[in-house]
Structure 1
Amino acid sequence: MMKAKVSIDKFVVEYTDVPRSAYYALVGKAVKSGELFKQKFYHEGYGYQLHLRKGNGAYLHVFYRNWSEPKGVSYTLRLETRPEYYFQFKEVLDTLRRNASGINFVSCDIAYDVRTSMDNVMVIPHDGRRKLREYKGTRYFGKKHQRKTNGHCKIYNKRLELLENQNKVIDHELTRIENVHKPEKRIPLAELLQYPPEQNDDYLAAVITDWGTLPKKRAEQARMLMKVEESKNVSPYIRKKVKETLAHPYQIDFNELAREAWEPLLEELCGVLLGQQEPQVQERQLQMAVTNTVYDEPQEENDSKNVGCVDIGKYRILRDNTRVRKLLNQQRMTGLFGLEKRTIDTWPILFSSA
Structure 2
Amino acid sequence: MKAKVSIDKFVVEYKDVTFGAYFRLVIRAAISCELYKQTIYHGDGYSHELHLKKANGAYLHVFYRNIKEPEGSAYTLRLETRPEYYVQFKEVLDRLRSAASGIYYVSCDIAYDVKTSMDNVIVFPKDGRRKMRHYKGTRYFGDKHQRKTNGYCRNYNKGLELLENQSTVIDFELTRIEIVDKPERRIPLAELLHHPPEQNKHYFAAMVTDWDSLPKKRAEQTRRLRDGADIEEVTPYIRKKVKETLAHPYQIDFNELAREAWEPLLEELCGVLLGQQKPQVQERHVQMAVTNTVYDEPKEENDSKNDGCADFGKYRILRNNTGIRMRLNQQRMTGLFELRKMTSALWSRPSSRVQQKSSTFFVFPLKKSPPLIYVYCK
TM-score, structure 2 length as denominator?
Answer: 0.73
2:208 — aligned with what?
Answer: 208
One-letter code aligned to 2:9? K
5 Å-filtered alignment, 1:61-100, equals 61-100=61-100
2:19 — aligned with what?
Answer: 20
Q: How big is each residue's C-alpha offset from its partner over 1:50-89, in whole Å with a ceiling of 9 and x where there is no partner?
A: 1110000000000000011111111000000000000000
Q: 1:14 to 1:316 in 2, by over 3 A?
A: closer
**SS across alignment from 1:40:** strand
User: Which ranges of structure 1 fall in alignment gaps of 5 or more residues?
Assistant: 278-314, 323-354
2:282 — aligned with what?
Answer: 319
- Asked if structure 1 preserves the Cα contact closer than 8 Å seen for 2:61 and 2:80, the reply is yes
2:35 — aligned with what?
Answer: 36
Q: 1:103 to 1:110 in 2, by over 3 A?
A: same
Q: 1:147 to 1:33 in 2, by over 3 A?
A: same
2: CA distance, partners of 1:228 / 1:318: 43
Runs of 4+ in 1 over 4 A off after TM superposition: 229-232
5 Å-filtered alignment, 1:192-341, equals 192-228=192-228, 233-277=233-277, 315=278, 317-319=280-282
Shift of 1:247: 1.3
- Asked if structure 2 preserves the Cα contact closer than 8 Å seen for 1:204 and 1:247, the reply is no
Shift of 1:227: 2.1
1:60 — aligned with what?
Answer: 60
5 Å-filtered alignment, 1:139-158, equals 139-158=139-158
Shift of 1:226: 2.1
Shift of 1:231: 6.7
5 Å-filtered alignment, 1:109-148, equals 109-148=109-148
**SS across alignment from 2:50:** strand
One-letter code aligned to 1:150? N
Q: What do you get for the CA RMSD once the two structures are aligned?
A: 1.4
1: CA distance, partners of 2:282 / 2:113: 33
- Asked if structure 2 preserves the Cα contact closer than 8 Å seen for 1:102 and 1:320, the reply is no
One-letter code aligned to 2:12? V
Q: How big is each residue's C-alpha offset from its partner over 1:15-70, in whole Å with a ceiling of 9 and x where there is no partner?
A: 00001000000011111111111122222111101111000000000000001111
Deviates more, 1:27-36 or 1:49-58: 27-36
Q: How big is each residue's C-alpha offset from its partner over 1:215-268, in whole Å with a ceiling of 9 and x where there is no partner?
A: 000100111112246675222221221122111111001011000000000001
One-letter code aligned to 1:16? K
1:287 — aligned with what?
Answer: none
Which structure's relative contact order is higher, taking Cα pairs within 8 Å and 6+ residues apart? 1
Deviates more, 1:234-243 or 1:95-104: 234-243
- Asked if structure 1 preserves the Cα contact closer than 8 Å seen for 2:124 and 2:228, the reply is no
2: CA distance, partners of 1:84 / 1:47: 27
Deviates more, 1:96-105 or 1:219-228: 219-228
| Count of residue correspondences | 284
1: CA distance, partners of 2:98 / 2:232: 53
Q: How big is each residue's C-alpha offset from its partner over 1:120-174, in whole Å with a ceiling of 9 and x where there is no partner?
A: 0011111111111111100011111100000001100000011111111111000
2:321 — aligned with what?
Answer: none
2: CA distance, partners of 1:185 / 1:320: 21
Q: 1:320 to 1:23 in 2, by over 3 A?
A: farther
1: CA distance, partners of 2:283 / 2:103: 8
One-letter code aligned to 1:92? V
Q: How big is each residue's C-alpha offset from its partner over 1:282-313, in whole Å with a ceiling of 9 and x where there is no partner?
A: xxxxxxxxxxxxxxxxxxxxxxxxxxxxxxxx
**SS across alignment from 1:248:** coil
% same residue? 73
- Asked if structure 2 preserves the Cα contact closer than 8 Å seen for 1:113 and 1:176, the reply is yes
1:108 — aligned with what?
Answer: 108
Shift of 1:318: 3.7
1: CA distance, partners of 2:232 / 2:283: 49
TM-score, structure 1 length as denominator?
Answer: 0.78
Q: 1:168 to 1:113 in 2, by over 3 A?
A: same
Q: 1:321 to 1:92 in 2, by over 3 A?
A: farther
